[in-house]
């Protein structure tokens, strides 16, 4: 079993839709959590960190459930420009991240 | 803004060649990482370094070595390239001093093809 698992998708949604991604992790000692966005043929870039209290950045909301060991990303009012692969990442030892394989989102007009 | 640069965007080498991939970051980050990314396998950690002259094996170090002689530079070496090392190679850096708690900043990647 992988340390960090994501549904690979693809998720195909119309503009304006709300879409949610989940990511589960196996190591209960994990300390920090992130969502990265990766555009086609580009490098991953941080979308947002995920805090225990949950956090929101515009149309994006990230949540952490330590008891069930998963993190989620909710995108509201999807835009065409949201089409990308979304990677979750979990840090267990300081500085070292384990990444999920990514979930591909395509937003269609 | 943090900038991580990699020496080449595309590289074509022959089996058995020694290959050097260079990564430089300009934000005085302590931590540097080398990953490879393959379809269906995601990002896999090859080696990482927490400081100059320090290195730690990641999940898939076989066939690779690294060098970190200066804080800003982390090199990945393929001693004898093989076709199964054809991949996208991504370098990243981070710092425990960064308020974003070890966010990783990635370079643009090097797409290596071994013929």
To the nearest whole percent, how much of chain A has pLDDT over 90? 75
The angle at the Cα of B25, spanning A32 to B53, to the nearest 5 degrees, equals 85
For the segment A13-48, what is each residue's pLDDT rounded down to a tens digit? 999 999 999 999 999 888 889 999 999 999 999 999
Which residues of chain B have a CB within 8 Å of the CB of A33? Answer: none
- Residues ≥6 apart with Cβ < 8 Å to B11: B19, B21, B110, B111, B112, B113
Other CB atoms within 10 Å distance of the CB of residue A79: 11
A54/B102: higher pLDDT = A54
Residue recorded with tokens 């994501």: A6
Predicted local confidence at residue B65, as pLDDT? 97
Interchain proximity B106–A32, CB inside 8 Å: no
The yes-or-no verdict on residue B100 having pLDDT over 60 is: no
Predicted local confidence at residue B101, as pLDDT? 61
Which residues of chain A have a CB within 8 Å of the CB of B30? Answer: 95
DSSP symbols for A39-64: -TTS--EEEEEE-TT-EEETTEEEEE
Which residues of chain A have a CB within 8 Å of the CB of B50? Answer: 95
| Closest Cβ opposite residue B100 in set A49, A96, A101 | A49
Task: Give the Cα separation of B111 and A35 in Å (integer).
Answer: 24
Q: How far is A67 from chain B (nearest CA, A)?
A: 22
B83: three-class secondary structure by DSSP: helix
Predicted local confidence at residue B98, as pLDDT? 62
Distances (CA, A) of A80 to A39, A45, B26, B91: 12, 18, 33, 28
pLDDT band at B18 (very low <50, low <70, confident <90, very high): very high
For the segment A68-103, what is each residue's pLDDT rounded down to a tens digit? 999 999 999 999 999 999 999 998 766 788 999 999
Strands (E) located in chain B: 4-6, 10-13, 19-25, 31-38, 42-49, 56-57, 64-70, 73-78, 87-94, 105-106, 110-114
Task: Give the Cα separation of A94 and B101 in Å (integer).
Answer: 9
For the segment B31-84, what is each residue's pLDDT rounded down to a tens digit? 999 999 998 888 999 999 999 989 999 999 999 999 999 999 999 999 999 999
**CA Rg value for chain A:** 13
Q: How far is A16 from chain B (nearest CA, A)?
A: 29
Residues listed for chain A: 109
Number of A/B CB contacts below 8 angstroms equals 49
* Paired sense of beta strands A84-91 and A70-75, if any: unpaired
- Rounded to the nearest integer, the mean pLDDT of chain A is 92
Question: Chain B contact for A96, CB < 8 A?
Answer: yes
């Amino acid at each position: 079993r992988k340390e960090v698992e994501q549904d690979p998708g693809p998720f195909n949604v119309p503009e304006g839709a709300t879409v949610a991604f989940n990511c589960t992790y196996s190591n209960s000692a994990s300390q920090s959590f992130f969502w990265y966005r990766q555009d086609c043929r580009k490098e991953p870039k941080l979308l947002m960190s995920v805090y225990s209290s949950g956090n929101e950045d515009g149309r994006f909301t990230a949540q952490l459930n330590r008891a069930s060991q998963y993190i989620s990303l909710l995108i509201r009012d999807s835009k065409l420009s949201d089409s990308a692969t979304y990677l979750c990442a979990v840090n267990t030892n300081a500085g070292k991240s384990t990444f999920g394989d990514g979930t591909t989102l395509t937003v269609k007009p | 803004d943090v900038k991580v640069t990699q020496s080449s965007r595309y590289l074509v080498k022959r089996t058995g060649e020694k290959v050097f991939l260079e990564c430089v970051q300009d934000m005085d980050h302590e931590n540097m990482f080398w990953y490879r990314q393959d379809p269906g396998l995601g990002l896999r950690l090859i080696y990482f370094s927490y400081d100059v002259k320090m290195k730690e094996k990641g999940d898939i170090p076989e066939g690779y070595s690294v060098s970190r002689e200066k804080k800003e530079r982390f090199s990945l070496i393929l001693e004898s390239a093989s076709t199964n090392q054809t991949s996208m190679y991504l370098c990243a850096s981070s710092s425990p001093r960064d308020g974003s708690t070890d966010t990783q900043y990635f370079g643009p990647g090097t797409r290596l093809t071994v013929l």
